[in-house]
Amino acid sequence: MRVLLIRHGQTDWNKQGLLQGTKDIPLNATGLEQALAARESLLGEKIDMCYCSPLIRTRQTAEVVLKGRDIPVTYDERIVERRFGVAEGMSVYNIDFDATWVPDMPPMFEGMETFEMLLERLTGFFDDVYSKHKNDTVLVVTHGGVSIVSGYYFCGPPKTDRSEYFCKNCVVKEYIKE
């Protein structure tokens, strides 16, 4: 299976450095432009299926990226952004954001999903997708936190730090699972 993983385009909360988590924030004008650029970069790619987070920012991204292409889209709750509980809406500059990505750390905030919970959720998702699409190219439209943990799923712990797996807005990462 070949996975093309793309993070949604920019939102106003991204621009302001606010922790979105599961808050349903739409793309801003820059995010729509980024999605158009991603669409152009993927035009030559054969894509058999798209899985998309049901949050509006990912749905908008997928709609732009796939416009004019007859590619089925399935919305899947398992690829929504990591739940940060009461920290959603806080500035990432006012919390120890890097510490939230350390495996085996207890939740820093009430209602926060641990790294292990997110990894388990994504493992179930990717294992299911693999069982259905072993020989296909699958586009996954998702979120920054999901991009980090997806890297762990496909490649194991990073050689340096989590940033090597993190997708910037509308940047595509490719993974292969045989």
Predicted local distance difference test score (pLDDT) of residue 100: 85
**Contact status, residue 171 vs residue 6, Cβ threshold 8 Å:** yes
Predicted local distance difference test score (pLDDT) of residue 160: 79
Question: Which listed residue (33, 45, 81, 143) is catalytic?
Answer: 81
Q: How far apart are CA 74 and CA 47, in angstroms?
A: 13
Token duo for residue 26? 């739409």
**Domain residue ranges of the chain, discontinuous segments joined by +:** 2-176
Predicted local distance difference test score (pLDDT) of residue 109: 92
Beta pairing partners, 140: 5, 51
pTM exceeding the 0.85 threshold for the entire prediction: yes
Q: How far apart are CA 67 and CA 158, in angstroms?
A: 34
- What is the CATH code of the structural domain delimited by 2-176? 3.40.50.1240
Q: How far apart are CA 137 and CA 148, in angstroms?
A: 20
Tally Cβ neighbours within 10 Å of residue 141. Answer: 30
| Sign of the Cα pseudo-torsion (12, 15, 18, 24, in order) | positive
Predicted local distance difference test score (pLDDT) of residue 132: 97
- Whether 143 is a known active-site residue: answer no
Which pLDDT tens digit goes with each residue over 115-173? 999 999 999 999 999 999 999 999 999 999 999 999 999 999 888 778 889 999 999 99
Q: In what order do the strands lie in the sheet with 2-7?
A: 73-75, 49-52, 137-142, 2-7, 172-176
Q: How far apart are CA 111 and CA 88, in angstroms?
A: 10
Which pLDDT tens digit goes with each residue over 18-77? 999 999 999 999 999 999 999 999 999 999 999 999 999 999 999 999 999 999 999 999
What confidence tier does 95 reach under pLDDT thresholds 50, 70, 90? confident
- Whether 81 is a known active-site residue: answer yes
